[in-house]
Chain A
Amino acid sequence: MGVAFDTLRQYLHMKSATIFLFAATTLTITAKPDGVQLFTTNCSACHLLDQMVVGPSLVEMRELYNGKPDDFVKWSIEPQKKRPDAIEMPSMVHVGDEGLRAIYEHVMKVSKGVQEKQQQSGDPFADSPVQAKRPQVQRIFMPDAGPAAIAVALDDGLSLCWDAGECRLRYSWNGGFIDGFPYWKGNGSSLAKILGEIRYVEKESPFPDSEQHKFYGYRIEEGLPIFKYRLGERMFTESFSPMLGGGGFSRHFTTSPLSPGPLELDFPSDQSVEYGSDKGTWTGSKLKLTSAEAAVFTINILFK
């Protein structure tokens, strides 16, 4: 009776006539493994009746396996990666052959005649007032950056990726900002997509002592971040402003060294941009700043 009771509770949403039928059936087969209970225990976190969540719906399982219990059992014991966007199921070998067959029966029974719910295509929150705001700061997994990257939209046309894990700018792009939906729709197993064209990549930090870095966070002013970090013995703040028309951007630095000294920056020699600054002396893509100049300076990166 205990088993039947538990079973019935799962079926409260069904019509009473169905409950009677079902109850009558289970009362006579209590010796067999309880497919409903086994499903709840082992499967329900990832498989819903009529829509894909982590794994496919019961409706889809029915399409795949109806009349093929052996295939169902085989797959459950030795699952493989089948869907590029989904993670692979752990093996259900511990449930046992009989248990898996009971789950199979349950799945086939409850999915019979049910239609797959129409999946919403695209991001249901694409018009989020928070995400649509410019400027914008968003931490998310980004392509071609470390896992502690921060995406920043300076305005409608220019964005950049700043890596808090290494305390440095990684790249910037023209066009839209990011599509975070591939990451947000699930549990974070996909990267955000860049909407636009990459215009500048900084393969390595132009600063000395960049391996000894520590990130302190950022302040927001007028919606834009001012990053605060330390490289070696020098504290930095770094902020950005876009150039009109998405033609490039300026990077504003303040530094406060523990012991004063000149600062030498070594930018990647990049044919697609033109470097400039309000202070210091350039030799090719190298910039030399005196101790006094290094206190506050601006670097301009102009897309060619």
Chain B
Amino acid sequence: MKICFLLSILAFPLTASAWTEDFTFEKIPNPQGIDSQVGGMDTLKDGRIAVAFHRGEVMFYDPSSKSWSLFASGLQEPLGMLVDDDGSILVMQRAELTRLRDTDGDGTADEYETVFDDFGMTGNYHEFAYGPARDKEGNLYIALGIASNGAPMAEEIRGEFSEIGKANREEMTNRATWGKNKGKAGRMYARAPWRGWVLKISPDGSKMEPFASGFRSPNGIGFDAAGRLLITDNQGDWRPTSPLYDVKKGGFYGHPASLVWAEDWDGRDPLSIDAKELDEMQEPPVGYFPQGELANSPTWPVIVPAGVLPEAMVGQTLIGEMNQPNLVRVLDDEVDGVYQTALVPMFDGSPLDKGNNRIAFGKDGSMYIGKTHLSWAGDTGIVRIKWNGKSFPAIEKIKAVPGGFALRFTEKIDPETLSTIKVESNTYKYHKNYGSPKVDVQQMEVRDAKLLEDGRTATLDLGGLKEGYLHAIDMTGLRTTDGKPLLGKKAWYQMVKAPK
């Protein structure tokens, strides 16, 4: 009997690879001799895919001939790309936002125009620069990562040095004594201007407005279909698990190091401010990626265009993930005007694998996933994913309702399996430590699970929802009327506001 029991468990993983029934996964050929870690990706008007690589090459992939051509080179760690309407290409590199232009029409960039470089750099490896995202008025938004005490500052820095902090400049710079002084620096630090900030830049680059603060390693910045500026960040100090933010002007998003650059900052060392005070200042995440389960290092948000996924998912947001072998779907919800999300794995258990850093869409409805690792866990190269156009079982929408959730699926659900849905809630501790374990984990009692007349909408009565808690809805046991499990079996709903 024990053997039979084990076999029934083993049956689950086999069906988990069902993504391949509805999607094809194909590794596209890498350009020869190029370190194929992808930092930026976008689609050209003619359908070619523009890719920025780790060592600074910008190359175009032509899907019809499966060949590569070189457009530009020599950039430093590009981590974001935007193809402009006039054919020029904006690329964010470590030191600046650059516009690449081919002015003589020979197919390669001859102009590397500095659009914006008025921010500081301490020379620390962790000061990655991300972006741009563009709003409807054409303004550009960039996000600046902060430095890690895994290394000191360089002797020469760009921009002003902030004297605020326990370690002075000599201590922040001296490699020989760094082992002794790094504790004073803070786990992550922002001693040069605008590190940890999102900056809003006018279309021509001439004006800059400090837009929002509190970021750590925001390797994902983009507008969603509703015009919200979504930014992901990475688990670490002051980041209990990786968060998703809906970023508003003037908001503070949790990591205190950046506060030294706030206009009216009172001069206190933000790293020694009580967590409680900071907690009251910070804007809450609209989504949480539980570490080790959904994402450890979420990446770029993109809007799903028509033809790539089923109609109901068009306009939804997709986010990449570097350390776990999946992407993440964002299910939007709103309670009393408060935006919040449920996050669902996509392509988990598929051949996609890890390293998923940037996403672009081909004109033929295919998705290109560019990978990187930068010496962390990840991968290289580009995977092309193509949907077969057929419906597949998945969660389409999750709505928080008074007392519980309403869930809509893409296909009819076997009512017999509804009772297998489990919901667990937890919160996290906001503190300077690196990550937080789940706090106050509780299995929530599903008092009632009902299927509505359409056969694909279910309501879960949980007797109440918990504000400030992550609600993990486990739908592993759920089956459609023809016996199929869902693709994306779990959803993590962050309850910023519970409906009354």
Contact = CB atoms under 8 A, between A and B. Distances in A.
A189 interface: yes
B5 to A, nearest CB: 9
Contacts of A30: none
Contact of A87 (B56, B95, B150): B150
B441 interface: no
B112 A125 contact: no
A41 B291 contact: yes
A175 to B, nearest CB: 20
B371 interface: no
Best-surrounded residue of B126, B376, B436 (most CB of chain A within 10 A): B376
A186 B374 contact: yes
Interface in B172-197: 178-179, 182, 187
Given A90-B434, A188-B77, 8 more contacts: A46-B377, A53-B377, A90-B237, A136-B74, A137-B74, A217-B98, A220-B109, A220-B111
Interface residues of B, number: 73
A217 B293 CA distance: 43
Interface of A: 1-2, 4-5, 8-9, 12, 16, 19-20, 23-24, 37-38, 40-42, 44-46, 48, 53-54, 80-81, 87-88, 90-95, 124-125, 127-131, 133, 136-141, 145-148, 150, 164-165, 180, 184-189, 215-221, 225
A184 B94 contact: no
Given A129-B32, A130-B33, A147-B121, A45 B96 contact: no
A217 B375 contact: no
B151 interface: yes
Nearest to B33: A128
7 contacts: A5-B9, A8-B13, A41-B296, A87-B125, A147-B123, A147-B158, A216-B114
B33 A40 contact: no
Contact of A184 (B32, B54, B95, B434): B54
A219 to B, nearest CB: 5
B150 A184 contact: no
A95 to B, nearest CB: 8
Given A42-B435, A44-B323, A146 B111 contact: no
A141 B435 CA distance: 30
A9 B73 contact: no
B34 interface: yes
B70 interface: yes
A185 B237 CA distance: 25
B35 A184 contact: yes
Interface string B469-484: 0000010100000000
Interface string B318-351: 0000110000000000000000000000000100
Interface string B371-401: 0011111000000000000000000000000
Contact of B125 (A94, A188, A217): A188
A126 B57 CA distance: 15
B232 interface: no
Given A94-B437, A137-B73, A146-B157, A131 B55 contact: yes
A218 B111 CA distance: 6
B117 interface: yes
Contacts of B70: 130
Nearest to A47: B377
B16 interface: yes
Interface of B: 2, 6, 9-10, 12-13, 16, 32-35, 54-57, 70, 73-77, 93-96, 98-99, 109-114, 117, 121-123, 125-126, 148-151, 154, 156-158, 178-179, 182, 187, 236-237, 291-293, 296-297, 322-323, 349, 373-377, 433-437, 474, 476
Contacts of A187: 125-126, 374-376
Contact of A81 (B32, B156, B179): B179
A186 B293 CA distance: 26
A130 B437 contact: no
Contact of A45 (B99, B178, B179, B376): B376
Contact of B375 (A81, A128, A185): A185
A136 B55 CA distance: 13
Contacts of B73: 130, 133, 137-138
Nearest to B148: A87
Contacts of A137: 73-74
A121 to B, nearest CB: 16
Contacts of A220: 109-112
Nearest to B117: A215
Given A1-B9, A138-B56, A217-B111, A53 B373 contact: yes
Given A45-B297, A94-B433, A147 B122 contact: yes
A146 B434 CA distance: 30
A-B pairs with lowest CB-CB distance, top 4: A41-B292, A87-B150, A139-B76, A189-B125
A96 to B, nearest CB: 8
Which of A12, A37, A95, A124 is most buried by chain B, counting CB atoms within 10 A of its CB? A12
Contacts of B16: 9
A145 B156 contact: yes
Contacts of A136: 74
B9 A164 contact: no
Given A141-B123, A146-B156, A148-B121, A221 B12 contact: no
A5 B34 contact: no
Nearest to A221: B110
Contact of A148 (B96, B151, B322): B96
A127 B74 CA distance: 15
A35 to B, nearest CB: 12
A219 B104 CA distance: 12
A65 B132 CA distance: 45
Contact of B114 (A46, A215, A225): A215
Contacts of B9: 1, 4-5, 8, 23
Contact of A44 (B10, B76, B377): B377
Contact of B56 (A4, A139, A145): A139
A88 B182 contact: yes
Contact of B6 (A20, A48, A148): A20
Nearest to A148: B95
Contact of B323 (A23, A45, A94, A139): A45
Given A19-B10, A41-B292, A125-B35, A217 B297 contact: no
Contact of B154 (A90, A138, A147, A150): A147
Contact of B296 (A1, A45, A215): A45
